[in-house]
A and B are shown apart, each in its own frame.
Chain A
């Protein structure tokens, strides 16, 4: 088991303005699977993802990632843990515009203390894998949204993290690019023993999930397993139910 969340509670605000965002959340993620967290806006998906990623402290409950209890780690230890174990893919890609895509992809390696030369070499190899090897000198603003997301995927994988966290990875993409990105995610999850957790409310991509956890009002209301052997990207947003 990669992630084991039990009895998670999280609130924001004080007094009358206090909002209970996560209520006794239990969730597990396994090696080699794509787990999607879905639900309406404001239901607590991103908060849960942040907690699993170790970027947000919770009030009660336990979060074990690779059997390490995150809630017991110091800030410094948590930062180091994130650098070594987690790959991040953000909704807005968050690529640094003044760096080339190779330099962007090399950032997680630089954070781990890898030399610049080695990091750039590994970054270029990763860009080859996501089909952008020819464009290694380009800056992000020269690429399409889909290509930028592929760069972000390369950045998330370059240091070979066993857990990849994705926040709305297809929200800013058209159908064609969304499909390319989701195929990449499948390869990522299957090629090595790696877990991919995706927060999304994009119903076009639900068929790519091995499991879907539905959230509403801070609770997980349903975890649904499905066969993702022949996924398909739904182009017209119809039939959101998996």
Chain B
């Protein structure tokens, strides 16, 4: 019966291709758009990924990492005084303008870290020595900066390298290292320097400490330590952990802030829903037309003694088969898109396993609805109808 069902399906090439195309587009739109959305949300937390501290202490009203409500410098000492804290260091994080050698300006994400401990430094250096940050007027830039801060970004030979100079707010910055880092949501490349030098690069204001980064003492979890910091200081202490369901996690809090306060999810969500609707419309309409075209033959099978149950199984097999093929091709196309995105670094793309699994379920739901429409139509078809020419 499976062979019979598949031969009937593949035999109608036009409808088969139409069904596969509909499910292909549905899969591609759903997976690609959901993955770009996740990638974009991941970019919003890039500072948390690039500054790998276990705990971020911020002003009590701060809800996400890219929002800066500066603390007093004395707050570093207050956090250090908490018994649950192993170490606590100042962190500067802010957007600044870099002036390039050709006189043009570029926005950068400036990170200032403690010069002694270098806590919050990039985790992987590609070139240069991190300790050279302690030298005067030095910075470590990420790979993107080598291109973005170049006078000619399209020329690989013109890329910024160790020893090159540029200015941040009219103050000299000399590149002593190049590191790997995740891209920022704002698109500006990451530039690390010491905390004191970051304050020099930044126009002065009354409070300039963006956050205090900290680590828990031995035998205590980051959550317990964060709780102790909040109790002792009244500041807000977030744990730096991957996105999950805990609002005390800075990644989770940041992503939800963007979901709730920007139109980004509506934009991507609309496209995903359109993908679902288009897939549903094409699959249901085409599959129903396929059943109608074959109604005479299916009715003959019914008259010859094939039960409604077996006919339903045949339709389900046909629907699931186009679902598998359409989903597979859609995922393949998304993978090709992902390969391009990963090679060039943009657009943002991150595909956790739930996206393809969810899309597969959605596509199969579409196919089951399409099959159900056919099954209902077929069950209403009296076998005696086959005798009426």
Contact = CB atoms under 8 A, between A and B. Distances in A.
B305 A80 contact: yes
A47 B8 CA distance: 29
Contacts, number: 82
B80 to A, nearest CB: 77
Contact of B386 (A80, A94, A112): A94
Interface in B83-109: none
A97 B297 CA distance: 9
A87 to B, nearest CB: 8
Given A88-B300, A90-B387, A111 B306 contact: yes
Given A98-B10, A107-B4, A110-B1, A79 B306 contact: yes
Contact of B305 (A84, A96, A167): A84
Contacts of A33: none
Contacts of B386: 55, 90, 94
Contacts of A90: 300, 386-387
Given A98-B8, A110-B1, A110-B4, A88 B303 contact: yes
A167 B306 contact: no
Interface string A147-168: 0000000000000000000011
A59 to B, nearest CB: 14
Interface in A77-114: 79-84, 86, 88, 90-92, 94, 96-99, 103, 107-108, 110-112
B8 A96 contact: yes
Interface residues of B, number: 28
Contacts of A79: 302, 305-307
A56 B382 contact: yes
A168 B389 contact: yes
A49 interface: yes
A76 B305 CA distance: 9
A116 interface: yes
Interface in A26-77: 46-47, 49-50, 53, 55-56, 76
Given A94-B296, A98-B8, A111-B301, A76 B307 contact: yes
Contacts of B297: 94, 96
A108 B4 contact: no
B116 interface: no
Nearest to A100: B7
B387 A55 contact: yes
B384 A107 contact: no
Contacts of A107: 4, 301, 304
Q: Which of A91, A97, A110, A111 has most chain B Cβ within 10 Å?
A: A111
A96 B7 CA distance: 10
A50 B304 contact: no
13 contacts: A53-B384, A55-B384, A55-B387, A56-B382, A56-B383, A79-B306, A84-B305, A88-B300, A88-B304, A90-B387, A94-B300, A98-B11, A167-B389
Interface of B: 1, 3-4, 7-8, 10-12, 294, 296-297, 299-307, 310, 382-384, 386-389
